[in-house]
Amino acid sequence: MPRVACVQMDVKYGDKDSNVTRITEELCKQASNQVDIVVFPECCIAGYCIASADQRSEIGVELNSVEFLVIQSTVDATGVTAIFGFAEFTGGEYYNTAALMQPNLRPQFYRKTHLPELGYDRHVLVGNDLLVFDTKFGKIGILICFDVRFPEAARILALKGADAIFLPTNWPKGADISADVLAVARAAENKVFVVTCNRVGNERGFQFIGKSKIIDPMGQVLASAGQDEQVIVADLDFELSRNKRNVTIPGKHETTVFESRRPELYGSILNHIDQNKEKQSTVESRSREN
């Protein structure tokens, strides 16, 4: 049963040293609190709110950078697993990426698969994989911010066996529906834990709303943050998410999460696949042009 902490923090734009120091300090602090997994916001190493492709270099982070080495060494020393978002710069290309760092293991990565027309996401390439990662605690999936708007993404991770879905976010003012409703719905409809970690503060005119949450497989909020810097903690019993049957009254009122599905009726979703591929190609072309 892992203990999870979400560090809802105010990210300082372009100040990698300051943000990484905050991350490593929190890893050490939460290790002393017997926390197993510490989650940080989307793009928390250097910020998110750029206005043009030219500004990507101000926040871009390479995978072999000193920032990564410092965080990995802290993970190794504390024994705490870290999940955090960053603006990835690899091979001349940019992605919106989340890292999973486990002690004494190579980092693993998820690249954001659904891109809003906002900030850094206007100028990056789209990810193409919905991944489930093995940890010593169980299987976890990772999505990033806007990904939660699409029920298919969380459903795929749940079908792949994810016990919990972790969601680093940069929810700005106006995104309350994602924090208050959609994240809860994704937990309940898939019977998985959903852990959201947002940021706070103001960056280049964007105000971030906080509202990080740790949600259980029945959609109950175990821990919730306000709109200021805060750390929330909860224990996740993955046995709850592995049981996909809901029993209200034994033998009289029971439901199943996956067995009751009717995939043969859902073909209309796939009818739009060519249109979606065309849109994805447009997004990639736009990003390369930028």
* Cα dihedral 102, 103, 107, 112 sign: positive
* Burial letters 134-148, b for 16+ CB under 10 A, else e: ebebbbbbbbbbbbb
Active site residue 278: no
Q: For residue 248, what pLDDT is reported?
A: 86
Q: For residue 56, what pLDDT is reported?
A: 97
The catalytic residue among 16, 26, 42, 49 is 42
Q: For residue 136, what pLDDT is reported?
A: 96
Q: What is the pLDDT of residues 126-139, one digit of tens each?
A: 999 999 999 999 99
Res 283 pLDDT > 80 = no
Active site residue 244: no
Confidence tier at 288 by pLDDT (50, 70, 90): low
DSSP collapsed to 3 states, the chain: CCEEEEEECECCCCCHHHHHHHHHHHHHHHHHCCCCEEECCCCCCCCCCCCCHHHHHHHEECCCCHHHHHHHHHHHHHCCEEEEEEEEEECCEEEEEEEEECCCCCCEEEECCCCCCCHHHHHCECCCCCCEEECCCCEEEECCHHHHHCHHHHHHHHHCCCCEEEEECCCECCCHHHHHHHHHHHHHHHCCEEEEECCEEEECCEEEECCCEEECCCCCEEEECCCCCEEEEEECCHHHHHCCEEEEECCCEEEECCCCCCHHHCHHHHCCHHHHHHHHHHHHHHHHHC
Q: For residue 275, what pLDDT is reported?
A: 57
Q: What is the pLDDT of residues 98-108, one digit of tens each?
A: 999 999 999 99
Q: What is the pLDDT of residues 50-91, one digit of tens each?
A: 999 999 999 999 999 999 999 999 999 999 999 999 999 999
Q: Parse the chain into domains and list their residue ranges.
A: 3-289
Quote the tokens at residue 288. Answer: 């390369």
Q: What is the pLDDT of residues 246-279, one digit of tens each?
A: 888 998 898 888 999 999 998 888 776 655 555 5
Q: For residue 3, what pLDDT is reported?
A: 98
Q: For residue 278, what pLDDT is reported?
A: 58
Res 285 pLDDT > 60 = no
Active site residue 145: yes
Amino acid letter for position 286: R
Q: What is the pLDDT of residues 196-249, one digit of tens each?
A: 999 999 999 899 999 999 999 999 999 999 999 999 999 999 999 999 988 889
Res 290 pLDDT > 70 = no
Q: For residue 189, what pLDDT is reported?
A: 96
How far is the CA of 285 from the CAs of 87, 281, 288, in angstroms? 19, 6, 5
State what percent of residues in the chain have pLDDT above 90: 86
The catalytic residue among 112, 139, 211, 213 is 112
The catalytic residue among 43, 44, 145, 197 is 145
The highest-level CATH class for domain 3-289 is alpha beta
Q: For residue 269, what pLDDT is reported?
A: 83
